[in-house]
């Protein structure tokens, strides 16, 4: 509890208008104080601040693996969890640009084994979390015999001919939707999801360490392993029954590779301006019911002028915050189950934002 109190105190201090700005050295010192409890022989974190196209802060704290003591470095690859969704959305948008699919395609055009209730669901609904599909986590066995994969999510949904609400009428965050989108990428491209991501996104951008990880098929270089605090001690908790589902959270990446991804979101080296506008525009109406989320785009949460997304899975907590108008991005990747780093990242961003900026 003392560790959490220290982080909270730093956040309050750094969030104040008087704490904004300062020299680069002062900013780095403040970030080090914010990240103090990630340092030493404990599961750690990597922090990246990009401003005007430059990596002005690029630091690692703590260790990537308690068993080996390997330190966290800027090239350490963390499981991104739901930060993966922005890549899944980008894959769909690339295929739309290719003419392989349309965003208003019924999902059953691509996955016809879905039940009749899914008839009105389109790819747009999946991308924007407005499909009404049931959560596969609710449908899965309590103790599955093996890890679920994207195809297993489809098999689970085939057994439930119902939706939570008519598509397009409400927002409800859906991991099921993004698992299905990964399968659609495979159907429309003729490649499996992981291969498509590598060929069309990771390799062209030079994201050489990034991978949609499949056990026994691919490997993760410089891998961070997830940990959880159990009875006062850190323990490795790297995999859960849902960790092998790719579309909603299966990518591993580093802050160095994510810097390349962020740069590509400012120009047309990957996605057209029209596709990026769709991804970053509000695709939902009404209250999302989520803190600091005014609306959802395609793979991105929107809060004022900020684009962001968190990623949480067993042993990992991550966040990316983008302020495109100020050309500022803050990324925190951590291989521990707490604390959730969103507020810490907001405090870091405040060091570069003018007072009163969203």
What CATH number has the domain bearing residue 260? Answer: 3.40.710.10
- Domain assignment present for 5: no
Q: How confident is the model at residue 142 (pLDDT cuts 50, 70, 90)?
A: confident
Peptide bond into 339 cis (omega under 30): yes
Q: Containing domain of residue 282, as a range?
A: 77-309
- Domain assignment present for 292: yes
Distance between CA 304 and CA 302 in Å, rounded?
6
Of the chain, the percentage scoring pLDDT greater than 90 comes to 91
Does the pLDDT of residue 131 top 80, yes or no? yes
Q: For residue 301, what is the enclosing H or E element?
A: strand 301-303
Encode 73-111: b = buried (16+ Cβ within 10 Å), e = exposed.
bbebbbbbbbbbbbbbbbbbbbbbeeebbebebbbbebb
- Domain assignment present for 92: yes
- Domain assignment present for 23: no
Q: How confident is the model at residue 109 (pLDDT cuts 50, 70, 90)?
A: very high
- Domain assignment present for 184: yes
Does the pLDDT of residue 50 top 50, yes or no? yes
Among the residue ranges 195-199, 229-233, 280-284, the one predicted with the least confidence is 229-233
Chain centroid to Cα 79, Å, comes to 9
- Domain assignment present for 48: no
pLDDT score of 7: 45
Query: Of 183, 83, 97, which is closest to residue 133 (Cα–Cα)?
Result: 183
pLDDT score of 143: 87
Which residue numbers are catalytic?
Answer: 82
Q: What is the number of other CB atoms lying within 10 angstroms of the CB of residue 341?
A: 28
Domain count, the chain: 1
Do 182 and 247 form a contact (C-beta atoms < 8 A)? Answer: yes
Do 279 and 299 form a contact (C-beta atoms < 8 A)? Answer: yes
Query: Of 131, 48, 25, 23, which is closest to residue 344 (Cα–Cα)?
Result: 48
- Domain assignment present for 34: no
Does the pLDDT of residue 152 top 70, yes or no? yes
* pLDDT 10s digits, 272-300: 999 999 999 999 998 999 999 999 999 99
Phi, psi for 188 (deg, rounded to 5)? -75, -30
Does the pLDDT of residue 195 top 80, yes or no? yes
- Domain assignment present for 343: no
Does the pLDDT of residue 23 top 90, yes or no? yes
Do 174 and 124 form a contact (C-beta atoms < 8 A)? Answer: no
Average pLDDT rounded to a whole number, residues 159-176: 98
Phi, psi for 146 (deg, rounded to 5)? -150, 165
Does the pLDDT of residue 14 top 70, yes or no? no
């Amino acid at each position: 509890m003392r560790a959490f109190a220290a982080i909270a105190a730093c956040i309050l201090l750094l969030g104040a208008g008087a704490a904004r700005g300062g020299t680069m050295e002062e900013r780095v010192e403040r970030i080090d104080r914010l990240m103090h409890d990630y340092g030493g022989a404990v599961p750690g974190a990597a922090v990246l601040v990009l401003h005007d196209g430059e990596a002005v802060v690029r630091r690692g704290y703590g260790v990537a693996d308690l068993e080996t003591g390997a330190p966290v470095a800027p090239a350490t690859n963390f499981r991104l969890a739901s930060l993966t969704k922005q890549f899944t959305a980008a894959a769909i948008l690339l295929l739309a640009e290719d003419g392989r699919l349309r965003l208003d395609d019924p999902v059953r055009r691509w996955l016809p084994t879905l039940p009749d209730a899914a008839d009105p669901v389109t790819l747009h609904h999946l991308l924007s979390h407005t499909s009404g599909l049931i959560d596969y986590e609710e449908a899965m066995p309590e103790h599955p015999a093996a890890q679920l994969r994207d195809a297993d999510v489809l098999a689970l949904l085939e057994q439930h001919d119902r939706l939570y609400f008519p598509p397009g009428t409400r927002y409800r965050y859906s991991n099921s939707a993004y698992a299905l989108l990964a399968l659609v990428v495979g159907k429309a491209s003729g490649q499996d999801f992981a291969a498509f991501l590598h060929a069309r996104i990771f390799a062209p951008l030079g994201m050489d360490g990034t991978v949609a990880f499949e056990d026994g098929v691919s490997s993760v270089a410089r891998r961070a392993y997830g940990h959880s605090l159990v009875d006062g001690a850190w323990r490795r908790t790297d995999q859960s029954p849902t960790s092998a589902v790719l579309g909603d959270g299966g990518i591993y990446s580093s802050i160095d590779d994510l810097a390349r991804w962020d740069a590509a979101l400012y120009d047309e080296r990957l996605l057209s301006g029209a596709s990026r506008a769709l991804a970053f525009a509000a695709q939902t109406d009404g209250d999302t019911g989520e803190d600091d989320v005014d609306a959802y785009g395609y793979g991105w949460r929107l809060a004022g002028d900020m684009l962001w997304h968190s990623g949480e899975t067993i042993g990992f907590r991550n966040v990316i915050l983008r302020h495109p108008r100020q050309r500022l991005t803050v990324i925190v990747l951590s291989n521990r189950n707490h604390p959730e780093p969103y507020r810490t990242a907001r405090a870091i961003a405040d060091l570069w934002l003018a007072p009163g900026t969203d």
